[in-house]
Structure formats: structure tokens, C-alpha cells
Amino acid sequence: MKKLLVLGAGTAGTMVVNKMRRILDPDEWMISVVDQEETHYYQPGFLFIPFGIYGKRDVIRSRREYIVPGVEMIMAGIDAIQPDQDKVRLKDGRVLSYDLLVIATGARVDPSETEGLMDVGWRRDIFDFYTPDGSLALARKLRTWEGGRLVVNVAEMPIKCPVAPLEFLFLADHFFHKRNMRHKVELVYVTPLDGAFTSPRASVLLGDILGRKDIEVVTEFNIGSVDFDSRLIRSWDEREEGYDLLVSIPVNKGSGVIQRSDMGDELDFVPTDPHTLLSKEHDNIFVVGDATDLPSSKAGSVAHFQVDVLQENILRWIDGLGLLPEFDGHANCFIESGFGKGILIDFNYEMEPLPGKFPLPGAGPFSLLEETRMNHWGKMMFRWVYWNMLLPGAELPLEAQMSMAGKRR
Amino acid sequence: MPTETIAGHTIELDANGFMTDAAAWNREIALEMAARVGIELTDKHWKVIEFCRKDAKEKGVAPGLRRITKNAGVSMRDMYQLFPKGPGKLAALVSGLPKPKSCV
Ligand SMILES: Cc1cc2nc3c(=O)[nH]c(=O)nc-3n(C[C@H](O)[C@H](O)[C@H](O)COP(=O)(O)OP(=O)(O)OC[C@H]3O[C@@H](n4cnc5c(N)ncnc54)[C@H](O)[C@@H]3O)c2cc1C
């Protein structure tokens, strides 16, 4: 019996085992997946929690329930990978062996990377919304906050879902309007990038929306420390921004297991072939989802497109065929823009987000790079799609590769 | 592509003033590129430049700031002293490398 071992049963790992169990012969391949937590979180939902749009129950499910029968689910922390021996050591001392390994251990925030972030201010005037606890604590804070200068700061790129901080600001604008206190709140976006977003056309559109909503943007700000006593953040080049409420997107890193196994780059992301998803260093290890060092967005939709390519390449790997270089960096993201509207962007490694229409059999078309109500519904529908189609590994009417159909240059 | 004469060599630069051909770089060019942005190169600068060149050759892309501080034996604070106003970009510029990409 051969062994396929998957590390991490989050968005990507769950899709991988569910799809592969259907394809691989159970008499030949045993499939196991390891995760440390019983609860599966719908992370895109964390964005809505601070504003009371979602509660805790909307974003959690039992992890085991989403793993198909025939896959062994191991609940344990992973201590380290030993790629030279084809083994994985668990924190409880067990040792697992594998013929083929898939790393899907995701990314996490590490606030301890920024000096002063976790001092006395943490969860008093300083919050994050990238963790379930953080978003819930921020929801409590916002219920009684009386206004002032709200600064959203991205510590360093890359981060998961790079549009989430902008969505947070758009929703905050809407939230304070509804509470008749928008005039008491200054909204400020402090980013290390040189514009609202990385790609030029989306940056212009998002920059316009920020301006229209009276949200101040401070660019090229690389945070060095937080000064809690004076309530300000300081950049490495000695610029300062004061805050009354700081919403931080702390440094994002790969899982600790990658660091302990000495398999990652400077942020513990695993060097990965950008098109085949094979590890650059080990020829029986694939890497998928947020755990890779690829310049594609760290998003659930991207993980989905990667898994389509990965599934094919696992089969080719088993049959000793050459791997297909088919992953093109495709990402498809709904951006919530407040007041019941949203924007859709669709892009890949080469092609920046373009305007036009995005055809989707059964539901679309959605407008690209444009604010519409339909796109807002697309975003809200995503939660249903996530639990009911994405995780079970159902076929979605979406091509893994980006298509130019409907797009205008 | 615009060209410019730097330290007696005709050098091709991109729209942002970064060299398009890392192989055309030499130490004199680095000195002059640095002088143009007001930096006088010290041994510590050279340590960073050497790391950047070696790493870019191996990886095919200019290293980002965090990668430099993790591997070249300089701290983040050092980098801001050595290359004030954008150490990531300036280290690449002086090393004759393309502008480091920020991730999407
Ligand atoms: C606030 C926010 C908003 C977002 N919005 C969107 C959006 O609108 N659209 C979108 O497509 N994406 C969005 N995302 C991103 C999306 O959630 C992630 O890209 C996606 O979940 C990545 O899947 P993954 O499987 O790579 O990682 P994860 O789903 O994070 O799974 C990694 C798993 O590995 C496990 N693990 C890690 N280390 C260990 C260890 N040592 N031992 C045992 N288990 C371990 C973890 O417990 C986890 O279950 C958002 C993310 C955040 C935080």
C-alpha cells in the first residue's frame, strides 16, 4: 500500500484529500491528512465579524465533517518534516511515513514580529481581524467605540487576501455612517505599498473609491514599532502616524512546522515551482495554498485553481509522467466595497485585473473592476459555495486558467 | 529603452532608472549610481550589494528587504541608515538589479 500524506486540512488540504480519494484506487493508495484543530474556520468571514454582519457561528464548522470517508483524519500538531527520510514527526511523538507528501499548512499572522504591537495596547486599542479571536474582540470594541482616528496598517507584504484591509475600510465607512457617527471618525489606510493596491488599473479604481469615501491613504510606510504611550506607529524611516484605534494586519508567515523543518524562505514559505507546484527542493513533495512562496495571491480561490492543477500532476507523478506547468497564477476575488456593493477582479501572474464581464454559467455574468450589487451578492454567496462546493471538491464551472473572454484591454 | 553614460559605460535603464542588464554592472557603476542618490558606499554597503548580486543570480529575482536583513548580516535599522528612503529599492538599484517586485 502506498501512502499520500497531506499536512493541513484547511481550504487547500481538504480539497486535495476529497478530490484524490475519488480518483485514487483505495487498494493502492492510502490517504491521510493531519491538522491540529477540530474547528475549520471560514477565514473570509473574519472580515464581517467586527461589524456584526457575521457572528462566530457563521464561520465555524467541524473539520472532520468535511473529510470524505476513506481518508484518515489525524488530529495532532505537526512537529517537523524530515524530507530526507520521507517522514513526518507529530508533536505527540508519532512518526508518519509517506511516498508522496502535500504541504498545505497555510499562513498565519505573527504580531510578535513588530516591536510594541503586543504590549499593553494589544486588544485594548490595537486589534487584528485575521484571527477568530481578534475579529471577535474588535467587534466588541466597535460596539461602544466613540470615534477618533482609526488606522488600518499592513505591516509587510505578502498578506493573505491582500484586498481584505481595503474591504475592512469600506465596510467601516458604511458601519459608521449607519451609526450616524461617520463625522466623528477619521479613516486612514497606512500601507507599505506605493499605492492602494499592487496592480496599476485596480490601484486607480480602488484609490478613487477610497478618495470618494474620504479615507486617507499613507503609502510606502514600513512599520518599525508601535509606541503605545503616545499612541502612534513609527516607520523605519522615522515617520509617525497617530491612532486612537489601530487595526493591524501583522506580518504573515508560513506555519511553524516549516521553520522547524528548515524548509522555508525568510518568511517560512516553501520554495515551490510556480507552474507545477512541486517543491523546488524535494521531488516527492508538492506545496499548495498559502504555504507556497509563489507571487500569486494567498486566497481561497487561488488554492482552488491550484488544486485543479495539483490533482492532475499527482496522477502524472504516480504514473511517472512529466508534470504539467499549468498553474498560471489565476486569482478571482470579490472585493466588498460597502453600501451593498462589490467589485470583482480576475487576474494571473502575467495579466493585471482588467475591466469587462466575467461569464459564469448559471450565475453570472459579473462585472469586472466595477462596483455593482451583483458582485456584493457574489461575495456573500461565496460562503455557501465554500462549505457546500469548494471543500467537498465539487466541480465548479470555473477554469483553473485565467481566460480573456469578456475582458477589455 | 533610454541609455545613459555611467562611469564611462553606456548603460540601458528602465523607466524607473534601474539597469536592465545585471551583467553590464561593475563596481564603478555602483559607486556612481550610489553617488547620484546621495550615498557614499562603505564596506557595509558592499556586503549588502554582494549578497544582493549573489542571491539574484541564484534566484533570478532581486531579494526583498527582509531577505537581505535575514541573510546579509545587517539589521533592518542598518539598512535604513545605509540606504535611507527605500532600502529595498536602493539596494537593488545600486546592485544593478531590477526593482524588487511587491507581491499581489
Ligand atoms: C480576513 C481574511 C479574509 C479573507 N478573504 C478571502 C476572500 O474573500 N476570498 C478568498 O478566496 N480568500 C480569502 N482569504 C484567504 C483564504 O482564507 C486563504 O487563502 C485560504 O484559507 C488558504 O488555504 P490553505 O489551505 O492554504 O490554508 P488554511 O486554510 O489556513 O489551512 C492551513 C491548515 O494547516 C493547519 N496547520 C498549520 N500548521 C500546522 C501544524 N504545525 N500542525 C497541524 N496543523 C497545522 C492549520 O490548522 C490549518 O487548518 C481571507 C483570509 C483572511 C484571513
Q: How far lies A244's CA from each of A127, A215, A357, in Å?
A: 11, 16, 41
Q: How far lies B69's CA from each of A57, A309, B66, in Å?
A: 42, 35, 5
**What's the average model confidence in pLDDT over A315-326?**
97
* Per-residue model confidence (pLDDT) at position A396: 85
pLDDT of A361 over the 90 cut: no
**What's the average model confidence in pLDDT over A276-288?**
98
Query: What atom of ligand 1 comes closest to residue A334's alpha carbon?
Result: 8
Give the burial string for A287-324 (b: 16+ CB within 10 Å, else e). bbbbbbbbebbbbbbbbbbbbbbbbbbbeebbeeeebe
* Per-residue model confidence (pLDDT) at position A372: 96
Out of B80, B87, B102, the one facing A157 most closely (by C-beta) is: B102
* Per-residue model confidence (pLDDT) at position A186: 98
Say how far apart CA A14 and CA A9 lie, in whole Å: 5
Query: What atom of ligand 1 comes closest to residue A300's alpha carbon?
Result: 11
Longest dimension (CA), chain A: 66
Residue type, position A340, single letter: G
> Is A171 within 8 Å of A54 (Cβ atoms)?
no
Q: Which of A162, A166, A177 is nearest to A339 (CA)?
A: A177
Query: What atom of ligand 1 comes closest to residue A35's alpha carbon?
Result: 44
Q: Do B66 and A193 touch (CB under 8 A)?
A: no
pLDDT of A200 over the 90 cut: no
Q: Report the run of H or E that residue B72 belongs to, with start and end.
A: none
> Is A196 within 8 Å of A207 (Cβ atoms)?
yes
* B13-58 per-position pLDDT tens digit: 998 899 999 999 999 999 999 999 999 999 999 999 999 999 999 8
Q: Which of B94, B54, B101 is nearest to A293 (CA)?
A: B101
* A73-99 per-position pLDDT tens digit: 999 999 999 999 999 999 999 999 999
Dist. CA B29 → ligand 1 center (Å): 45
Categorize the per-residue pLDDT at A397 as very low, low, confident or very high, splitting at 50, 70 and 90.
Answer: confident
Q: Which residues of A touch B71 (CB under 8 A)?
A: 266
Q: How far lies A53's CA from each of A123, A187, A313, in Å?
A: 20, 20, 40
Give residues 195 to 234 of A whose Cβ lies within 8 Å of B. 198-199, 220, 222, 224
Least-confidence region, from A112-116, A162-166, A246-250, A359-363: A359-363
Mutate to test the interface with B, among A161, A222, A252, A275 (most CBs of B within 10 A): A222
**What's the average model confidence in pLDDT over A324-340?**
96
- For ligand 1, say whether the CB of A44 is within 6 Å of any of its atoms: yes
Q: What percent of chain A has pLDDT over 70?
A: 100
Q: Do domains A2-109+253-318 and A111-251 have the same CATH topology?
A: yes
Answer whether A30 touches B (CB < 8 Å).
Answer: no
Out of A194, A295, A347, the one facing B103 most closely (by C-beta) is: A295
* A128-173 per-position pLDDT tens digit: 999 999 999 999 999 999 999 999 999 999 999 999 999 999 999 9
* Per-residue model confidence (pLDDT) at position B78: 94
Domain ranges of chain A: 2-109+253-318, 111-251, 332-390
- Please, what is the Cα angle at A357 between A168 and A328, to 5 degrees? 75
pLDDT of B103 over the 70 cut: no
Distance in Å, alpha carbon of B8 to nearest chain A alpha carbon? 33
* Per-residue model confidence (pLDDT) at position A96: 98
* Per-residue model confidence (pLDDT) at position B102: 59
Determine which residue's CA is closest to atom 26 belonging to ligand 1.
A289
Q: Which residues of B touch A297 (CB under 8 A)?
A: 104
Q: Do B76 and A236 touch (CB under 8 A)?
A: yes
Distance in Å, alpha carbon of A198 to nearest chain B alpha carbon? 6
Q: Which of A188, A177, A173 is nearest to A218 (CA)?
A: A188
- For ligand 1, say whether the CB of A285 is within 6 Å of any of its atoms: no
pLDDT of B6 over the 60 cut: yes
> Is A369 within 8 Å of A354 (Cβ atoms)?
yes
- To which residue does cell 493585471 refer? A352
pLDDT of B104 over the 60 cut: no
Q: What is the pTM of this model?
A: 0.94
* Per-residue model confidence (pLDDT) at position A197: 87
In this structure, CATH architecture of domain A2-109+253-318? 3-Layer(bba) Sandwich (3.50)
Quick one: A111-251 is in which CATH superfamily? FAD/NAD(P)-binding domain (3.50.50.60)
Q: Which residues of A touch B72 (CB under 8 A)?
A: none
What phi and psi, each to the nearest 5 degrees, are found at residue A137?
A: -65, -40
